[in-house]
A and B are shown apart, each in its own frame.
Chain A
Amino acid sequence: GQQLNQSPQSMFIQEGEDVSMNCTSSSIFNTWLWYKQDPGEGPVLLIALYKAGELTSNGRLTAQFGITRKDSFLNISASIPSDVGIYFCAGTNSGGGADGLTFGKGTHLIIQP
């Protein structure tokens, strides 16, 4: 099946620093999504990307859909303590309902005081 390689696996940063994480795939997706998961909760949608080359922002978060449709990155600017959590990328080829998401293994973001 399709595999997503997400990196880095974990990040230890200081509050106020910028963060960058990315996902790559061996196959094409027509939709890329970024989710955040807090302990004991379900994934919460951060940003959805539907067009190759698309750059979308949501507050301090910015994500891009790679032009080859095989990669995406997520940037977080000026990190704050509530940014701590696990960030997952997910890809799908949506259309007709056959659009189960393929998830990356996640990036653990840890903010040091």
Chain B
Amino acid sequence: EPEVTQTPSHQVTQMGQEVILRCVPISNHLYFYWYRQILGQKVEFLVSFYNNEISEKSEIFDDQFSVERPDGSNFTLKIRSTKLEDSAMYFCASRTLITSSNQPQHFGDGTRLSIL
């Protein structure tokens, strides 16, 4: 069964550094998402992306965050000048577009980001 794949599985970064988290969505999917999950807490929506632009973002997704689809397969989340509180699991999700029916989001296994 097709999967959303994320790399790396664990990223350790010094506070203040930039980090890029990578995702390869399922190949025929057109909607892409990033979520984060702070240890022991619920999953929180960050941003959705469709047709090469952001379609929705949460209040968490401030100016230090950006997303990009640099080619036909990758979807990236960049965090500029990381802070200690950015430490979390970051999940990528994707879903297909079928106009006659709703389709659910499928998640990758996440990247654990640790800020030192």
Contacts and interface: CB of A to CB of B under 8 A. Distances in A.
Contacts of A33: 104-105
A14 interface: no
Interface string B45-57: 1111011000110
Nearest to B49: A97
A72 B75 CA distance: 32
A62 interface: no
B73 interface: no
Contact of A97 (B43, B56, B106): B56
Contacts, number: 67
Q: How large is the interface on B (under 10, 10 to 19, 20 to 34, 35 or more residues)?
A: 20 to 34
Contacts of B91: 42-43
20 contacts: A1-B59, A33-B105, A35-B107, A41-B110, A42-B107, A42-B108, A42-B110, A43-B91, A44-B107, A45-B107, A50-B102, A98-B56, A99-B56, A99-B105, A100-B45, A101-B45, A101-B105, A103-B43, A103-B45, A105-B41
Interface of A: 1, 31, 33, 35, 40-45, 48, 50, 88, 90, 94, 96-106
